[in-house]
Chains A and B, each alone.
Chain A
């Protein structure tokens, strides 16, 4: 099984999520929490998030019908949803939450309805994209995400250090040579 190919796929899916603004830096904070003790932490949190947010959106829709023009109540639901979105880095969803709250402030029912529809769309898109991402990552054996991105920085640094060491040794020359290896 070509795991490197799967990891490339996963990396590409993840990059897409960030580039298209679905996820922001806070998602990386969550990823950093994943470790040997909780190897599926990210996926677990995401599952909780979609369960919660699905419920909140559904409650909000009921409230929109049951309590017309009750902008304070609608805003309270959205404040909670915005909090969840921001803690996992669901950036586009968070923006729609903020837009909904602005519409509440302006007491615009149409504006609120419009924002809610956009929010539901972003919710569905993010869910689908993250599901694809987890499907691919779970097929490849675990390797911390930081392995791929950040060791390159360390490598460059260390290569420079080695080049410098070599230069130094060349300057020192034969007289400064260290011990011979044991035969």
Chain B
């Protein structure tokens, strides 16, 4: 089931969503996943490794690839990795991590800050 998309991907002409580099990371994943399912600790280690080696933009490409290939476990895994990376971090950290710039009017951002003040409490030091 998981691999019919992969087969058809190779038959497709227009596959700019999945560059070759990504394909070499995503395709071996099923084996990795079967191994990982058996051992939670190993999954944590793999996650750490992934974060260290893979820049945020690689992760998002992996997410897009997993989504395109309809590979739910990989998609959940990568999304969870991103979520863990930004959990309990300050807004500035997350902005830097994602490479985002604030496009709010100066007053707007302050208003939001006040409205959701409770959600910004107790975050990790940058």
Q: Do A and B bind each other?
A: no
